Each structure stands twice: as C-alpha cells, then as structure tokens.
Amino acid sequence: MHLPDNEPIIVVENVTVRFGSNTVLENISFQVHRGEILVVVGESGCGKTTLLKAMIGLQKTTAGRVFFRGMDIMAASEAELNNFRQNIGVLFQSSALFSSMTLRENIALPLAEYTSLDADTIDLIVKMKLGMVNLAGYENHSPVELSGGMKKRAGIARAMALDPLVLFFDELSAGLDPITAAELDNLILKTNEALGTTMVVVSHELQSICKIADRVIMLDKTTKGIIAEGTPGDLKEKSTDPRVHSFFWRQVPDNNKQDRSYVR
C-alpha cells in the first residue's frame, strides 16, 4: 500500500535515443500511473529494452526527459538518484543474480546497503521474500543450482527486497516453458494486487501480455515511436492499424501447410 498520489509515477517526455547515426527511439512520450501494470510490446529490435533502460537511468537519452515522481532522472543529483534506486526494482532478462552469492546474500544485499536493520531481521525479510516468490527454503542455494524459472523468481525477490514503488521487468518470460511463464504471470498479478506495486513489463509474449497488462504501449521498429496505446482488449479488437492487428492476431505468413513430402 502506498501513499495516495494522483500524479503519474513515471512520465516519459519526448525521449529520443540514438546510437551514432542509428535512431532507436524517436520522440517517445507516455505516462505510467500508480499501481498499474504497463506492458511495452513490439517486435524484436524495436527498442523495448532501450526504453526500459532509459526509464531506469541506465541509458542516457539523446533528447527528452524521464520523470520519476516529478524528478528528472537525467538531471538528478547522486542523492536523488540513490533515492530513486531505492524506489525501483529491476528484473533483467538474464535475472542477473550474482553467481558468487547465495540467494540469501543476493536478496540481503540491498537491505544491508540501504537500511540499518540487524542481521536477524534481514534474514527474516529474505525468508519472507523467498516465500512470496514460492522459493521458501532456497536461501542457501547458489543461482547456478536453480532452473531458469526459479532464477527469474529469485530475481523478482531481489528486485522486491526494498518494497519498491515500481518494478521493471525485461522480457519476463523469455526462454521459459508456458507453464513456468504462466506461473510468473500469476506471481506478477498477485504481487501487484497485494502490494500495489506499479509494474513496467517489457514483453512480446502475447498470452502473458493479455493476462497481466492493464495498459499496453506498442513500439514500432520502422517509425521508432509508439504506434498504439490502450488496454490489450482494445488493441486486439478495435485497432485498425495493420501492425497492431498482425501483432495481436499473430498474422505471419503461414508455411505450415506447404508440401513437406521432401522432409526425410
């Protein structure tokens, strides 16, 4: 439960990102509201991860600004950035758990750094977080001993360690089987519902998007901008844009029915 606030928690304002002469994002603007799950979708290479990195301050923008609760993160002081980092949690595509540490040490790291809690309390919070992601008892395991889905869940537990206001997920279910991916979706929904955490998810898994998203923004590789914004249902049923339509209805050239008699 968080402080009542009617202002958007994140405002992305005319953001452009260029790498040399290669423009990845062009004039992107949108807002993220408190408590919502916003999913950023688009085909591979359209700049979803770059946008996420710009939102968490890891990618300098060529133009435009990103505001977190009214603070411009590109122009923020180190103290303001520190405060910002305590209020966000990020799950990277590869989970990015520190392989030289156990899960306990991974999750306790931000708690030990940013709070003055004693070791027993930190240990208890670690157990609670692991319980939340259904990994109770795994505190002494090393990340290399976990499966892909478990690593993601442990990554979520670490991202949630400080009870952040916003959680960012980069390709939440990439490389996971549908059942594990669905379990993660449930976990996201439950966390959002129970803790009220705002979530920004980068994904291109249609099933997952339709299940978890309150709102979707769709990026396009050609225009480098947002081509659609709305609820997944609206975009799927009402959008007249052929790119949105083909994404939501998965209309790709279907070669499955071709003559396959040549296959040995």
Partner 1 sequence: MNDQQDRQKRYQISSRKQDSTLLICLTGEFGLNNLPAFTGEIKNLFRQQKPGALDIDFSGITYFDSAAALAMIQIQKAAAAENIVCSFRNLNNETKGIFSVIYEEALSRAPLKDVIKRENLVMQIGDASIRIFQDAVNFITFFGELLFALAYTLRHPQSLRIKDVLFYMKRAGVDGLPIVGLISMLIGLILAFMSYLQLRLIGANIYVPSLVSFALIKELGPIMTAILVAGRSGSAFAAEIGTMVVNEEVDALSTMGFDPVRFLAVPKVLAAAIVVPVLTLYADFFGNIGGLIVGITGLDLTANTYIIQSLKTITVFDIVTSLIKAVFFAGIIAGVGCQKGFQVRAGAQDVGKYTTSAVVTAIFLIVVADSIFAVMFYYMR
Q: How far is the CB of 41 from partner 1 (least distance, A)?
A: 27
The token duo for 38 is: 């916003």
Of 141 and 211, CB closest to partner 1: 141
Of 2 and 18, CB closest to partner 1: 2
The token duo for 100 is: 């030289």
Q: Measured between alpha carbons, how far is 88 from 99 in angstroms, rounded to an integer? A: 22
Q: Tell me the DSSP string of 162-223.
A: T--SEEEEESTTTT--HHHHHHHHHHHHHHHHHH--EEEEE---HHHHHHH-SEEEEE-TTT
The contact set with partner 1 (CB under 8 A) reads 1-4, 79-80, 82-83, 86-87, 99-100, 102, 111, 114-118, 121, 124-125, 127-132, 136-141, 143-144, 160, 162-163, 190-191, 193-196
Q: How far is the CB of 214 from partner 1 (least distance, A)?
A: 17
Q: How far is the CB of 86 from partner 1 (least distance, A)?
A: 6
Strands of the sheet with 226-230, listed across from one edge: 88-91, 166-170, 198-202, 37-41, 215-219, 226-230
Of 86 and 239, CB closest to partner 1: 86
Q: How far is the CB of 191 from partner 1 (least distance, A)?
A: 7
Of 16 and 86, CB closest to partner 1: 86
